[in-house]
Amino acid sequence: MSAIISSLTNDQRKKLLSLFNHPQLHLLYKASVHGFEANQFHNRCDRQGPTVCVAYNSSGLVFGAYAAKDFAQTNQNVIDEQAFLYSISEERPRPLRVGVTAAQPAFVDGATGPNFGAKESAPGAAYNFNPVDMHGNNLALTEFEVYRVEDMGGLLTKPWRNLQWTEDKRQLLKEQIQSYKPDVNGVKEARVLMVGPVGAGKSSFFNSINSVFRGGMTSRAISGTAGKSVTTQFRTYTIKAGKGGLPVPLVLCDTMGLEESPDAGLDPDDVINICKGHVQDRYQFSPSAPLQEGTPGYKKHTTLKDKIHCVVYLADASKVSLMSQKMLDKFAAIRKKTNQMGVPQILLLTKIDEACPLVQNDLKNVYHSVYIQQKAREVSQSMGIPLSCIIPVKNYSEELELDPEVDVLLLSAVEQMLNYADSFFENLEPETDPCDLYNSNDSPTSGLQKKQFVD
């Protein structure tokens, strides 16, 4: 399914956000997409924490209600002192806000749609408002949406991670990356595999890194916003420092996106084949079955330089809380097998500017943002990845020119990838047998625990 788009205009969204303190909105339910039935509302909105309902009528008004407490179908009147009704119109510079009457139930937590007001209470007892001002006496809805409301928490006085944002730092990072050399004979570059859900930004990350070293915007990897994975092949991308320049000692490997369904998206077993070096460039993924030995696209004989030296997961910062258990299970299956192979792993928290307006206003706020820190901790806990291995980044998306601050964040992420690739090489056993140069054994640790030398 394609991404579900909010019906709020920019002006309506700004007015709605003005009702909260440092808010972030996540669209949970859209009636025109999911259906106007009560069960569809509850399937997506129950036990989601604070929510705001947004109703659109044929008069062009936007109105609704905020509840700080869960919908849970308890069939009880709910006391919620933070609840309120609101109305937004073009004529009013600020939204109309009507708080719940003290000691009155804010809403009925039943099996129907959202019902603000209490059972068996007198009209106007819970909320005192003029229907003309609230919705123009027009309850003929053209659309209805529900958003989860997160308090972003503002900015920390002290950053939770230090980063220099200077041009000197940018140039130093580029030079260090370009001069990187693995401490293993026969291996000239680090191979990094990118894995993540559809839309997490894998292809965009490569395009962004390629743009930084090329000195201008590039789009070698196909990227987009489709509901299905735009990438359908396994691609290994090299990077050059400038047009016609020397190659950067880094290969970024792009994959098909992960999807919830077991028969859609990238198969976790294909990730293992890639890590072992068995998947050839431009192999066409098949969601129905992983690559098998003897089939087209399978590379039987591999050396250390064919294998993956670091796995990079990508997760959309604004969707961390919405990641399903099925998706988390896929990540867990991949992590378990890559751990067995001794491959280091990090996670890039992408789209941080879309997730946090404070970061969108100033990228240097990324490590001051309470919200981004919370998302990093949340994904650390849900996926079992240490917080030190989680790196926020912003890909180039709509820009036509490079931004030094974006470059610093991107290059810092690449620096960590190379550091982790070094950890992979250092963990290899120094003893080697020339017969181990070529490995076709599919055991989890085969060929990865012995340092391979090519003279």
26: enclosing H helix or E strand? strand 23-30
Domain positions in the chain: 10-151, 167-437
Residues 6 or more apart from 156 whose CB is under 8 A from it?
Answer: 367, 368, 369, 370, 373
pLDDT at 119: 58
d(CA 289, CA 282): 17
Measured between alpha carbons, how far is 365 from 368 in angstroms, rounded to an integer? 5
Q: What is the DSSP string of 28-43?
A: EEEHHHH-S-HHHHHH
CATH node for 167-437 = 3.40.50.300
pLDDT score of 269: 84
For residue 134, CA distances in Å to 15, 138, 141, 311, 443 come to 15, 9, 14, 53, 66
Element (H, E) at 409: helix 404-426
CB atoms within 10 A of CB 116: 21
Query: How confident is the prediction along the chain (455 residues), in pLDDT tens digits per residue?
Result: 456 899 999 899 999 999 998 788 889 999 999 999 999 999 999 999 999 999 999 988 999 999 999 999 999 999 999 999 999 999 899 999 999 998 899 999 999 989 997 555 555 578 999 999 999 999 999 999 999 998 888 899 999 999 999 999 999 999 999 999 998 988 999 999 999 998 899 989 999 999 999 999 988 776 554 445 455 788 899 999 988 889 999 999 998 888 877 777 778 888 888 999 998 888 887 766 777 887 888 888 889 999 999 999 999 998 888 888 889 998 999 999 999 999 999 999 999 998 888 899 999 999 999 999 999 999 999 999 999 999 999 999 889 999 999 999 999 999 999 999 999 999 987 644 434 433 444 443 343 333 332 32
Predicted local distance difference test score (pLDDT) of residue 398? 86
